[in-house]
Amino acid sequence: MAGRTRVLFLCTGNSCRSQMGEGFLRELGGERFEAYSAGTEIAERVHPLAVKAMAEVGIDISAQKPNDLAVYDGQEFDLVITVCDNVRRSCPMFLGARENVHWSLEDPAQAQGIEEERMVVCRAIRDEIRRRVEHLLATGEALNDEGEPVSL
């Protein structure tokens, strides 16, 4: 990967999973990456449980805002990662992307129960996103849901 690699994380609401992906890549990728996130039906705010879960691992996403996918029309990205099945069905490929990868991840915003039970789900998704982002950083490859690497 030469220069700064531009990565866009996409989900429906842009409130949890895509925000966590953007936060991890921005924090861990340093100057090598430009990290962005967007949604097709944006939420009003970043979900408080996502903010809390990321703060637990030392990453502050409280200032991030949900973005509409239309903000990125006409822009090019090296990698677009869809993180939910709904957005994959509605937007299977982002045309401005060199590579498209899908990560089928449960939506922590839909978790049920008391806050601690919902946090368990949010932490599990956070940790899976971190694992995949760290793999990208270590190898220059994004794993798809079948575990197949996509080189950038």
| 5: exposed, middle or buried (Cβ count in 10 Å: 0-12, 13-18, 19+) | buried
Task: Choose, from 84, 105, 121, 142, the residue flagged as catalytic.
Answer: 84
Our CA dihedral for 66, 18, 53, 108, rounded to 10 degrees, sits at: 100
Q: Is 122 a catalytic residue?
A: no
Residue 15 structure tokens: 């409130």
Task: Choose, from 28, 43, 57, 91, the residue flagged as catalytic.
Answer: 91
Question: Which residues neighbour 44 within 8 Å (Cβ) at sequence distance 6 or greater?
Answer: 66
Task: Choose, from 11, 20, 97, 121, the residue flagged as catalytic.
Answer: 11
Q: Is 16 a catalytic residue?
A: no
Check: CB of residue 79 under 8 Å from CB of residue 7.
yes
Residue 8 structure tokens: 């866009």
Give strand ranges (E) for the chain.
5-11, 33-39, 77-82, 97-102, 141-143, 149-151
Residue 65 structure tokens: 């805002």
Active site amino acids: 11, 84, 91
